[in-house]
Structure 1
Amino acid sequence: MARFYQLLLFIITISVQAQTEINYPEVVYGKEDIGASWVSHPDIKGGEDTAVLFRNTFEVDDLRPDFIINISADNHYFLYVNGQFVTHGPQLSDIQHYKYETLNLKNYLKKGKNVIAVKVINFGKRRFLGMQSIFTSLMVNGVSYGAKIINTTGFKDFWVCTIDESYKANEVVWRGGEETAIVGGFYANNPTDFIDMNKYPTGWETLGYNDSDWQKVEFFENASSMGGSIAYLLEPRNLPLLTWDKEAIGNIARSSEKEIPEFPISGDLVIPAHQKTIFLIDQKYVTNGFPELIFSKGKDARIKIKYAENLFGEDNEKGDRNNIQNKKLLGYYDSLISNGNNSQKFIPNWMRTFRFVEFEIETKDQELVLESFINYRSRTNIASAASFTSDNEMYNNIFDICKRTVDICTQDYFLSDAYYETMQYVGDTKIHALLWQAMSGNLDHTKNAIEQFHQSRDADGNILGAYPLRSTFIYPTYSLVWVDMIADYYNLTDDTSFIEKYKDGILHTLAGFEKNMNELNLVNETKYRYFIDWYSGPNDGKGTATKNNGKNSAVVSLHYVHALQNAAKLFSVIGETNTAEKYQNRANAIKKSVFELCYDTNRQLFAERPDKTVYDQHTNIMAILTDAVDESQQKALLTKILNDPDLLQATYYYRFYLFQAIQKVDAPEMFDLAQKPWEAMIENHMTTTLERFESEKKPTRSEVHPWSASPAYFYFNYLAGIKSVKNDFEEVMIAPVFGKLQSMDGLLPTSKGNILFKLRKSKNKLSAEITLPEKMKGQLVWNGTRTPLKQGKIKYTIK
């Protein structure tokens, strides 16, 4: 793979998103400034799928003052001023912490008449599982004096609205007796769009549109009352707005016609009347965003736009992603009907993820002209500046696909994947957060995720497995991982106030999990599922290594030990030694039981449960990380499990913990072996990382899954050996181990500035060129020698 297609030749990085979130990174206008109310269309009944269009026409005499507003909506909104797109939102959260954006619209206004227009989408009964909802509604609040004229009140305001009759939610079928639209099961993302342009009010967002037959908006609820709210408890957005960057889409790779046109890179594509046409576009890499199609004529022509991360062979196999021969696209799609007018425009109402896009077109009595097809790429606006290059091209390519996966899935929250679920799961986020911090040097998404998970807890201390969420997914192991995430944050930042903020939650969660323990000091089965990894084979317990609901599971018990050990450290540093000792003693007792009951002296391995019928890598990895086996035996145990193919194997997700174990026993020579599964992705020309191992029994599903991107984190943290020693990189240690590599160059963003490094190994000699930011100090460590680092670009040679 040529260095990720020479920086992706098809990308155009022209940003049309000039707007910023005023309340990020610090809150300037809090909810106390909100005097508007939630409004809706008078004919809305409840949670039906619908699109409501809102307009407010107003006069501006003086363009000098700021025009600052708050805006939010249920489910999702798109904001326009004088026909110009501004942003979409709100940031995903729950009803008790419902987010609003704060924007300055001053630069979108002109003297005289102006119009603010908002489309609000309710995706209906099959809306995204991460999207909590009460009622299709809009809230716009003027903060600055001049902006108060556009407050939504539902009484004496100037807002009018109409239901967009062109829109219907198109449910993505993934279960039941019907033919499914996707491969691989569970779909939790939003439905797609069915749009009949014959019913679409073209130009509704522009100033010249005639809205005289629109209805007055109707009051739904106050924004605040009764010490809280009858509807939504509002909070300011705490992350930047998403990007809206124009990205070109690649050419047609396959067509039902004899000649393959060069659309959409150059020229229009004319589809004659009375013709069925199918063509496939290969973007060459996976991306995401809001694709925009502009088309003309083609009265009543039907256009289906299908999106997929990959193509499938006859038996749903994938293979080489660059090989499209005899493969089909199975994926979600948008459906359009043309009204025959010129310059019709379609942008989906929710993000699409794709490498491949397939058009199925059927024209009627008029030719159809496709004029433009581009993508508006969606990411967090926080820069992802990390880079890594080594003397091994395989490592370079693995870094590229890991970074692309992390970038795509860092949106308003940490997406578990970009296509099927797009939810923020705890286990996924632990890994994703560390990766994102390495890619950006920014901790704001991590803090947001930890806080949202904390807000999800139930009365027993369980953290919901994913949050925000409108369902109830509980994996007790993920509750433990939430404790681990707080420890990760503290280990980087030394911020004891962060521990103080969540210490009651830690106590609650660990007390709740303790109720799962039995008289053997091992876990009992619960009504929930102890998720560990996507095991495969005869002992597949749908995420655990057993088919007995996890009863007496050694690996789950050791995850509890891991969380107890982290909690002991956290409470120790804030001076609560009694609690710290309690947790440490409990951890020691469970470790002792696991060793006595599950360690097989003949095989010199830990079994997954006391009956010694199941053996996996996972239990042994966690035994190393928790010191359930003596430190002197850990390297031999790790070597053994890495070379025993009969053990249940750790898949991409759990290899994060495998890499941690390699780092703990200081065995860089094992890193390459542990990373072998990623080589198959590169050989198959993947551009993002898979969810789980391929198998004949169950084809892999998600191809943009950040929990599988962990090698990139360890390239920095272990192979290059760059670690924060104090206060989030106030002090740094660089102790490279290289593994099989001979050279490493890169840039690691931190909150204190970028660390640039060039590291070369020649036998026992280290040559290094390191650029250290101002106000950062540290040490370069090689073969036991510690050399103080100097600020600026400095060369070092150590033998």
Structure 2
Amino acid sequence: MQTNSKLTRRSLLKATTGVAVGSGIVDRGFCAPAIPSVDLAATRASSGINFPPFAKTEWEQQGVWPAFWVRCPSATQPPLVTAYRLRFALETAGKARLHVSADERYELFLDGQRIGRGSERGNLEHWFYETYEIQPGAGEHVLVARVWSLGDFSPLAQFERRPGFLLAAEAPLTETLSTGHAGWESKQLGGYSFGAPFYVWGLAAPMTLDGARFDWGFERGAGEGWNKVAKDEPAASRMLEYGIAPDRYLRSGTLPSMIERPSGSRGVPRFIAAAGPGDLTQVPIRKADHLPAETAGWAALLAGTKPLTIPPNTARRVIIDLEDYICAYPEIVTTGGRDSSVRLHWAEGLRLAPDKWNFRKENRNEIENKFFLGMGDTFIPEGGVDRLFETLWWAAGRYVEAVIRTASDPLTIQRLVWRETRYPLEMESRFVSGDAAVDGTLPLLVRGMQNCSHETFVDCPYFEQMQYVGDVRTESLCSYVMTRDDRLVRKALYMIDKSRHTSGLTEARYPVRQPQLIPWFSLLHIGTVYEYAFWRDDLRFVGTLLPGVRAILDAFEQHLDSSGLIRSPEGWNSTDSFPETERSGLIHWLLAWAFRQAAELEGFFGERDRSARAQRRATEIAVIADETFWDETKGLWANESSRTSFSEPVQCMAVLSGLAPAAKVQRIRKSLRDLRPTGQFGRLRGNRASQKGASPLAPATMYSTHFLFETYRKLELMDLFFERLKFWLEQPGQGMKTPLESYDPSRSDCHAWNSHPLFHYFATILGIRPSTPGFRTVEISPLLGPLKQASGNLVHPAGGGILVEVRAETGRLAGNVTLPEGITGVWKGNGSTRELKPGANRI
């Protein structure tokens, strides 16, 4: 038997532009954008998604499929786990092409071997399915699916309609294999129970699996209790009769299969002790309680060299250090141990206090006198041989707490492994600065992106696992400098666009079934669309997002008052460094910037009138923002119209808009230095930043430091850039493996929105940025700051890479630039500009 990995869409349309447009992501001046010619019929073959329009595959074009959703008639009320079985026989070896989906999630097995998981996360209007090609030999076979439908106990990012399963086989095996035609059977799998999440928010409920009630061998189709499935509605990828929408509008999965492989971090036992009967979260880790004689046995088990037997009537608490941050499906294989229990809880780091709202952890390498507060699942062996216990969903963190309690029967743990899972995002570019501290952050920044990339981007893998619009702004930029693969970015842009309310604003996070509005995130989305237009060569896709860009801007204009100010739309308007306010300086400057970006986007498509209007509105909003929020005494723009508080992010949005008066920008340049926050930064509720110091300027959060770095670049304040970078340079020494969510005490230890220095290593230090849409041309403006040299190779979406080697020599920059074939550009440095041609260029 052979199986091929999940297939995705193969082709998509793209547009080409014939005229150089714009001046990059951060421009030094604003002018009316040139209007390019656009060939909307040009073809492309890069990403796996057939965007846009969200075109149907050949299979989807039939509309109503020759298959039906089916369900287990005895299992109707979530939370529940069901299995579906089809026994079939082939007279000769053959190939079968299968389209598979489930509500909510499935695992697919062929002859007892797992061949895939799904369905890729979407919503009811984009219910994704996966496509598999299998090549079973002649003879008897069995297809089995395990489907979990948790209802209110499922992750908030998981949509659900009602429990069900779908498998559609293409001809000639449609009648033989498809649900609704073939003789599929089902049953509810026993042994599963779920409890409300007790520590983190937004994730799947913790699971307990009782081996005495579990249907062992279900994946092979074994066991009793299988009954005929109930047939539900037909599967469909278009409207049904009379314009009735299907319950789930089926769309082909847009992404490759997630990585699923044994983790390279097997773990080491850091602490082994007797486990008392009480609440272990209240019991600190103390060296005095450690049982060193048992370390070797646990080390051998984790290394995969020897099983470990826990004697009868024994309770053990083991802290396993994975020595890296991973997202993984834990697997444990046991023999014996009837009525014992194995609880596996995960944590990012150990706490200084046994309080779930106290996030103080300090050095993550240290565990002594700290408390383990975690989240996970429990397994109850029934005494069988080689019993494989596994979770339905993956867990995340650096530390695992294993609590084992045996009864009268010894428990042998044959194997304990972690199957790492994530999007197949790898670092394809290269950056070297020669500074050990700077270069030492690269693994942390890359690992942060990897662990926050799954079927969508996620804010954090440990707490919420949701794709926030603000996070996507920096995650997408990091993705551009890591890889040519833009499928995850494209899906994010598409799904966020489809999340828009009737007001025109996007959801704050999507796909998520619980609505939330953070209005200024919608403005950040416009910037993400704009940046995609430059960093990737697909204006046709960008064009499909333009109606959403217009809708967002229209929504904000509905909140204009008689003075021309914008009243903050309804929603969570806490804007980064300060609490909610009715008239926000940050929102006004961000809106002006968004209108300016929209003006350029409209120009790319020849929309001269729309472009001129957007440019005019950008200027008008900037003028009233300047008049309302500028404090002449302090030389700063205020957070609110009362001009009582000030913050770095407001200054950044004003400067980056390119619309602030030049004289005031120069004053801001001085204020950002003279009034910069110093001392110890901290975290307030809602991730706002705090400081211990006398500066009137509230610090940017670690997230909005991305915009501060962009401002430092524009104002050439690279000494301040490296001064603020220290918050990342210090993290590896504090035991962090991924970037923090916020200044300590940080809730989350893995937040890819703070991987953004990775982008700046390439785009600011090396100075590599696209200067026209589609990355057709490049501007290279290195800013080394205190570094003596830096070099890198940035992957280019058209193929090849942009190689930059730059060094400081007696106050001037020298080096080499190599551009891919067909790419031209300019070098800006030493007070001059020179043309760059494809191939090698010596500076």
AA partner of residue 735 (structure 2): H
TM-score (norm 1): 0.89
CA displacement, residues 353-393 of structure 1 (integer Å, 9 cap, x when unaligned): 11000101110011111121222211223543233222112
Structure 1, 31-40 or 281-290: larger mean CA deviation: 31-40
**Pick from 702, 705, 712: which aligns with 2:758?**
712
Residue 572 of structure 2 is aligned to residue 529 of structure 1: yes
**Counterpart mapping for 1:245-324 below 5 A:** 245-248=261-264, 249-256=266-273, 257-259=291-293, 260-261=295-296, 262=299, 263-265=301-303, 266-314=305-353, 316=358, 317-324=360-367
Deviation of 1:453 after TM superposition, in Å, equals 1.1
Letter in 2 for 1:679: L
How far residue 770 of structure 1 moved from its aligned partner, in angstroms, is 4.8
What residue is the counterpart of 2:196 in the other structure?
171
Deviations 1:731-778 (A, max 9, x none): 333332212222223332222224244433333454535554444444
- What code does the residue aligned with 2:188 have? I
376, 392, 399: which one aligns with 2:442: 399
User: Structure 2: which amino acid aligns with 1:73?
Assistant: A
Question: Aligned partners of 1:552 and 1:791: how far apart in 2?
Answer: 49
Aligned equivalents of 1:282 and 1:375: distance in 2? 12
Q: Does 1:150 align with 2:177?
A: yes
- Cα distance, 1:144–1:732 mapped onto 2, change above 3 Å: farther
1:279, distance to aligned residue in structure 2 (A)? 0.4
- Is 1:565 equivalent to 2:596 in the alignment? yes
How much has 1:426 moved relative to structure 2? 0.7
The root-mean-square deviation of aligned C-alpha atoms, in Å, is: 2.2
1:231 aligns to 2:247 (yes or no): yes
Say which is worse superposed, 400-409 or 314-323, in terms of deviation. 314-323
The answer to whether the Cα contact below 8 Å between 2:216 and 2:223 also exists between their aligned partners in 1 is no
In the TM superposition, 1:261-660 aligns within 5 A as 261=296, 262=299, 263-265=301-303, 266-314=305-353, 316=358, 317-493=360-536, 495-533=538-576, 535=577, 545-546=578-579, 549-642=580-673, 643-645=675-677, 646=695, 647-660=697-710
3-state SS, counterpart of residue 365 of structure 2: coil
Deviations 1:425-454 (A, max 9, x none): 111111111111211122222221111111
Identify the range of structure 1 (299-308 vs 396-405) with the bigger mean alpha-carbon deviation.
396-405
CA deviations 1:439-494 (Å, max 9, x no partner) are 11222222211111111111111111111111110111112122222211223346
Gaps of 5+ in 2: 11-47, 51-56, 274-290, 678-694
2:735 is aligned, of 670, 676, 685, to 685
2:204 matched to which residue of 1? 190
- Native 8 Å contact 1:222 1:229 kept in 2: no
Q: Deviation of residue 26 (structure 1)?
A: 5.5
CA contact (8 A) 2:770 2:776 kept: yes
Q: What is the count of residue pairs matched by the alignment?
A: 746
SS at match of 1:205: helix
CA distance in 1, matches of 2:126, 2:318: 44
Q: What does residue 700 of structure 1 align with?
A: 746
| Contact 2:537-2:797 within 8 A present in 1 as well | no
- Which moved further from structure 2: 124-133 or 422-431? 124-133
Q: Are residues 495 and 124 of structure 1, via their aligned partners in 2, closer, same or farther at CA, if it must alter by over 3 Å?
A: closer
- The verdict on how the C-alpha distance between 1:778 and 1:575 changes in structure 2, with shifts beyond 3 A counting, is closer
Q: 1:749 to 1:30 in 2, by over 3 A?
A: farther
Output the amino acid matched with 1:672: F
Q: Report the CA distance between 1:787 and its aligned residue.
A: 5.5
Are 1:42 and 2:70 counterparts? no
Structure 1 stretch displaced more, 769-778 or 89-98: 769-778
Residue 199 (structure 1) aligns with? 213
Distance in 1 (CA, whole Å) between partners of 2:791 and 2:610 is 44
Q: Greater RCO between the two (CA within 8 Å, min separation 6)?
A: 2
Quote the residue 1:105 is aligned against: 134
Whether the 8 Å CA contact 2:376–2:395 is kept in 1: the answer is no
Q: Distance in 2 between matches of 1:355 and 1:787?
A: 48
Q: Tell me the equivalent position of 1:56.
A: 86
Cα distance in 2 between the residues matched to 1:214 and 1:702 = 44
Q: In the superposition, relative to structure 1, how do residues 167 and 498 fare at CA in structure 2: closer, same or farther (>3 Å)? A: same
Q: 1:310 to 1:638 in 2, by over 3 A?
A: farther
Give the 3 Å change call, closer, same or farther, for CA 255–115 of structure 1 in structure 2: same
Q: Distance in 1 between matches of 2:507 and 2:446?
A: 27
Deviation at 1:557, TM superposition (A): 1.3
* Amino acid paired to 1:116: L
- After superposition, the Cα gap between the structure-2 partners of 1:40 and 1:714, relative to the gap in structure 1 and judged at 3 Å, is same
Change in CA separation of 1:669 and 1:40 when aligned onto 2, cut-off 3 Å: same
Whether the aligned pair in 2 keeps the contact of 1:554 and 1:619 (CA below 8 Å) is yes
Shift of 1:729: 3.6
- Secondary structure of 1:612's aligned partner: coil
CA distance in 1, matches of 2:4, 2:761: 34
Report the TM-score when normalising by structure 2: 0.85
**What CA distance in whole angstroms lies between the structure 1 residues aligned with 2:381 and 2:292?**
25
Q: Distance in 2 between matches of 1:763 and 1:426?
A: 44
Q: Identity of aligned pairs, percent?
A: 23
Q: What residue number does 1:71 align with?
A: 100
Contact conserved, 1:765 with 1:797, CA < 8 A, in 2?
Answer: no
Q: CA separation in 1, counterparts of 2:370 and 2:569?
A: 43
Instruction: Check whether the contact 2:703–2:753 (CA below 8 A) recurs between aligned residues.
Output: yes
Does the 8 Å contact 1:54/1:118 carry over to 2?
yes
Counterpart position of 2:256? 240
